[in-house]
Amino acid sequence: MSEIILTDANFDAEVLKSATPVLVDFWAPWCGPCQVQGPIVEGLAGEMSSVKIGKLNVDENPAIAQRYNIMSIPTLMIFKGGQVAEQLVGVTQKAKLKEKLSALS
């Protein structure tokens, strides 16, 4: 499954109402660690068909970032059933993400 570009407008429909778990990468283009995390998340999108994977630019979509109190980026949140099931702050390696996602899907 390819990754989805999330926005303030589509977040609720794509994430909170999703029938499958969703990994959301909260990031910004100026953030160095986000540039490291991005390809890891993109790689997962191609490997894990049982989960939805999306990216949300916190500069362009501040309402959702504020709703979830995103203070540091990258922050990864895994949603299941419309609720935050897991939150990871900082660069997270692919193996750890796969483990967390597999446990929820």
Given a contact cutoff of 8 angstroms between Cβ atoms, the answer to whether 78 and 101 are in contact is yes
31 is known as an active-site residue = yes
34 is known as an active-site residue = yes
Q: How many angstroms separate the CA atoms of 24 and 64, rounded?
A: 11
| Catalytic annotation, pick one of 31, 88, 91, 104 | 31
Tell the burial category of 98 from Cβ atoms under 10 Å away from its Cβ (0-12, 13-18, 19+): middle
Q: How many angstroms separate the CA atoms of 57 and 22, rounded?
A: 16
| Catalytic annotation, pick one of 34, 41, 70, 77 | 34
- Which residues are marked as active site? 31, 34
